[in-house]
Amino acid sequence: MKKGEIHEFEIESYAFEGKGICKVAVDEDKERKKVVFIQGAYPGDVVKAEVRRVKRSYIEARTVEIVKPSEDRVEARCIHFGTCGGCKQQNLKYEVQAAHKRRQVAEVFNKIGGFDEFKLEPIIAAEDIWFYRNKMEYSFSDKRWLTKDEIGSEEKFDDRDFALGLHIPRMFDKVFNLNECFLQNEISAEIVVFTREFFRSRNISIYQTRTHEGFLRNLVIRISKLTNDLMVNLVTSYEDEKLLNEYALELEEKFPAVTTFVNNINLKKALVAYGDYEKVFFGSGYIYDIIGKYKYRISANSFFQTNTMQAEKLYQTALEFASPEKTDIVYDLYSGAGTISLFISEHVKTVHGFEDVEPAVNDAEMNKQNNDVENVHFHQANLNKSFLPKLEENKIPKPDLVIADPPRGGMNPKTVNDLLKLKPPKIVYVSCNPATQARDVKLLCEGGYELIKMQPVDMFPHTFHIENVALLQIT
């Protein structure tokens, strides 16, 4: 097979991050076979696919025609499906999505970590597979993505240099204009459309990565189903109080459901949807959400689990895996707004939460006070460096249990080494990226731990992402 050729394939299985798999013979005797990864194909499909890359041990291809669809396919709901990278499995039955995710967790731990003997619990599937996100980040771009029909029409589009929506996969500077979305809430898409038209009609500049000039950067919407709080956070490169006062007035009038509007000012060149400081134009500058019996204050830049309903199941799983004693001292690493710390507080003696982001630590302290919890203590600590000096400085006793919930990149090797020096009897590792989790768990097991069991929890229906809880015990 050569690059650019189109061949017919029958899909046999499914790879992590959503690619169909089949095997093809590479010699006349059909004894040697090569794996083909095919984007846009599911097990049971027969497809025609264009070869995109030929490597020594595998081939990559992209579906161009579905000859015979799998019986697991369904009609995608969103008009942006196929362009947007957010819901790549929206055309696959949800129960099949969940089954694939569970199997992929096992495969990742086997291939990356070398694990083949551990207990993998059935996946905890989501009850709500639509409108489940409490946070969405949208991007402004001066390069609107044009559809094939638009390009073929040879028309001139006066909005091609102004877009607000989601990025095209693998294109950091291309954004399509979002008009509907079934991930967060109907009103979110309406706010996106309103915001786009408000600033485009005023010819407001968009930040450009080439020149590092321009005003508009991101729009972030946070919403709570349980308290009906709704935050709009506009991320800009500098302040413009007059303009944003106008925006705030129209936003509040058109969308009375919006409870607070915040402007984050990002002075950095990095394409990140948070600022160096913020200004609140109306409302408190916060929203509140509830997990279990605890109420949490969430600022514009706080980390909070994106799917509130599934987060309670995730934390309950972590609690059950930990099976703590009333005498236990617990460390909560990457503690964010204190959600896990407070959730487990009534079951243990003391919890020490460690978090790098100062606004998140402030939120955690406020959440602690608002929930009248006294046995939790939060510490600002850079977990990309050794946090052991923080323990000595504050005379914090060694833990009986550590719960870690790091970002997608996983734990820093220095943090892993710190855990190996502390040697807590149990570690519960919560992760949104099984690949980096498997890497870290392997290092911990090489240092004296044993992987006991794992529990996948689907926080993100229609995507390839999966949350996973792992229990490790010292051997």
Closest by alpha carbon to 112, among 372, 436, 407? 436
Identify any residues that bridge with 222 across adjacent strands, giving them in sequence order: 135, 231
Residue among 84, 181, 432, 445 flagged as catalytic: 432
Q: Return the ∠ at Cα 247 (arms to 244 and 248), rounded to 5°.
A: 85
> What are residue 173's phi and psi, to 5 degrees?
-105, 0
Whole-angstrom Cα distance, residue 352 to residue 419?
A: 14
By the 8 A CB rule, do 306 and 314 touch?
A: no
Q: Which of helix, strand or coil describes residue 254?
A: helix
Q: How many residues belong to the chain? A: 475
The two three-digit tokens of residue 429, written as one number: 């590792």
Q: Which of helix, strand or coil describes residue 50?
A: strand
Residue matched to tokens 């097979």: 1
Pairing of strands 216-223, 230-236: antiparallel
Closest by alpha carbon to 258, among 188, 162, 310? 188
By the 8 A CB rule, do 464 and 16 touch?
A: yes
Whole-angstrom Cα distance, residue 399 to residue 419?
A: 10
Q: Return the ∠ at Cα 409 (arms to 404 and 412), rounded to 5°.
A: 65
Closest by alpha carbon to 14, among 98, 77, 78, 74? 98
Residues 6+ apart with CB under 8 A from 16: 104, 107, 108, 434, 435, 464
Identify any residues that bridge with 232 across adjacent strands, giving them in sequence order: 221, 261
Q: Give the chain's end-to-end CA distance (angstroms, integer).
A: 49
Residues 6+ apart with CB under 8 A from 439: 112, 113, 410
Whole-angstrom Cα distance, residue 379 to residue 330?
A: 13
Q: Return the ∠ at Cα 115 (arms to 118 and 452), rounded to 5°.
A: 30
Identify any residues that bridge with 144 across adjacent strands, giving them in sequence order: 175
What is the identity of the amino acid at 239? E
**Is 84 known to be catalytic?**
no
Burial class (CB in 10 A: 0-12, 13-18, 19+), 55: exposed
| 3-state DSSP of 59-81 | EEEEEEEEEECCCCECCCCCCCE
The residues that are catalytic are 432
